[in-house]
Amino acid sequence: MSLPTFQGTPVPDFSVHIKRSVSIRYALSQPNPALLGAEHAPSSTRGDTTRHAVKALSILKWTDFNIEVLEDLYKDMLSQMVLSPSGAKSGPFHLDNIEEAKKMFLEHLCPRLEDPIEQGAALLGSRFGHQFPAVVVKPGRSFDRQTPTLSYVAGNEPDARTLVVNICLHANAWHSSMIGGNKATIARRPLDRLAKYCLLARTRYGFLMSTKEIVAMRIRGTVFDTSMSCHVEWQAIPWSVNGPYELTACLSIWFLVMLSLDDLRLSGSPPHYLPPPYYLPAPRSLNVWTRYQIPKGFFYRHPSSGQREAELPEGAEFEDSPNGTSS
C-alpha cells in the first residue's frame, strides 16, 4: 500500500537575522572606515569676522579627558548591552567637502552612536532621578545666524537643548599638532569658531572633525556670552585609533554627550525661561569624586556620572560630601 502524496504551494526559503548584543564599550571601539580627502583641499583656515567672533583667553590641553579617567567615570554604563548597529553605512568615504563629511557622519557615525547614547542617557537619568528627552543629531541648526555643521540636541522645539556642537575641517587645512607650533595664531581659529558656536548654543561641549582626527573641546567659563572672555580645553583623538582600551573617536563623542546631559540635568529650566545672562554650570574636574560616609565606612560617587565605587579609583582625588553622609 502506497502512502498518498500531497502537493501544494512550496514554502519559500527564509532566514532570520538576529542582532548580536554587545557592550557600549565594544560597540564604540570598533575600527573606523578610511576617510579619503581631496588633495586640492584648502591649506589654511580663515579668520572669523562675524560680530560674534570669539578669541579665547587660553587654549589648553584637556588633560583629564582620557580613557583612564573616563572609563572609571562611566564603568557601569560602558558595560551596558546594546544591539549591534545594522544601518551604519560602511566605508571608505571620500570627503571632498563639508557636505560629504556631514553625510558620512549621518550615515555611519549616527547609527553607531544612537543606541549607546539612548542607553547611556537612560542609566544616567535613573541614577539622578531624572528623565532626559530623546537625543538626536540635527544638521545646520543655526544660532543667531551662526551655523555649526552638526549639533546633538535633546528634546523638541521650542524646548530643545543643544548638547554638543560640531564643525568639520579637512586635515590639509588644520591639524591639532599645529596648536603648539609656529602657526599658533592660525591654528587657534577653528577652536575659537567652535567656542563661538558653543556659547551661542549655550553648551559647554563641542568637537572638531577632520579626515584624520576628532578634537573634543570644553568651554571653561561661567556665562554664555560671546562678548566675554572664555577659556578652551581640547583633546585630540586620532580617527584610526580602535580597541577596547583606547579612547576612540566614537567613544569621545559619546562621552561628550553624557557630560553635556549632566549639565542639562543641573541647569534645570529651559534657557528661555531664565533671565539673561545665561550661566554655564560650574566646570568640574573629571578626576574628582565625592566621598560619602556610611555606617560601615565610606564610598565614592562621581558627581557627573553617578558611578559608585567602594575604593577611590587610582590617581583620582576626592572631596567630602557637604553633608558628610549619604542616606
pLDDT, residue 60, reads 92
Residue 10 or residue 70, greater confidence: 70
Mean pLDDT (whole number) for 170-182: 83
**pLDDT value of residue 324:** 61
Residue 143 lies in a domain: yes
pLDDT category of residue 273 using cuts at 50, 70 and 90: very low
pLDDT confidence bin for 54, thresholds 50/70/90 = confident
pLDDT in tens, 13-26: 544 445 679 999 99
pLDDT at 309 over 50: yes
Same domain, yes or no: 158 and 260: yes
| Bridge partner residues of 220 (DSSP) | 231
Is 164 part of any domain? Answer: yes
Q: Are residues 196 and 233 in the same domain?
A: yes
Q: Are residues 111 and 212 in the same domain?
A: yes
pLDDT at 175 over 60: yes
The answer on 265 and 194 residing in a single domain is yes
In this structure, are 202 and 115 located in the same domain? yes
Asked whether residue 181 is domain-assigned, the answer is yes
Is residue 226 pLDDT above 50, yes or no? yes
Same domain, 266 and 293: no
Q: Is residue 282 part of a domain?
A: no
**Does residue 162 share a domain with residue 311?**
no
Reported as a single tens digit per residue, the pLDDT across 123-174 is: 999 999 999 999 999 887 666 666 788 999 998 877 789 999 999 988 778 8
Q: Examine residue 271 and say whether the peptide bond preceding it is cis (omega within 30 degrees of 0).
A: no
β-strand 58-61 against 231-238: which pairing, if any? Answer: parallel
pLDDT for 19 equals: 67
- Non-local (6+) Cβ contacts of 124 within 8 A are 77, 130, 132, 258, 261, 262, 265, 305, 306
C-alpha cell at 272: 528661555
How many domains does the chain divide into? Answer: 2
My answer on whether 68 and 184 are in the same domain is yes
**Is 9 part of a structural domain of the chain?**
no
Distance CA 68, CA 271 (A): 34
Picking from 230, 249, 273, the residue at the C-terminal end of a domain is: 273
Q: Assess whether pLDDT exceeds 90 at residue 90.
A: no
More confident residue, 15 or 265: 265
pLDDT of residue 251 exceeding 70, the answer is yes
Is the pLDDT at 79 greater than 90? The verdict is yes
What per-residue confidence (pLDDT) applies to 45? 75
The closest of 313, 319, 320, 322 to 64, measured between CA atoms, is 313
Query: Do 188 and 146 lie in a common domain?
Result: yes
308 falls within a domain:
yes
183 and 301 in a single domain? The answer is: no
- What residues have CB less than 8 Å from 73, skipping those under 6 apart? 286, 302, 304, 305, 307
CA angle 14, 17, 20 (to 5 degrees): 165
Q: What is the mean pLDDT of residues 60-74?
A: 96
Which residue among 273, 297, 315 closes a domain?
273
Instruction: Express as a percent the part of the chain with pLDDT over 70.
Output: 84
Same domain assignment for residues 215 and 301? no
- Rounded mean pLDDT, 231-258: 96
**Residues 191 and 305 occupy one common structural domain:** no
**pTM of the predicted model as reported, rounded to 2 decimal places:** 0.88
- Mean per-residue pLDDT over the chain, rounded: 85
Predicted confidence at residue 301, as pLDDT, reads: 97
Q: Is residue 8 part of a domain?
A: no
Any domain includes 228: yes
| 179, pLDDT greater than 70 | yes
Examine the pLDDT at 105 and tell me if it is beyond 60. Answer: yes
Split at pLDDT 50, 70, 90, the class of 112 is very high
The whole domain housing 320 covers 288-325
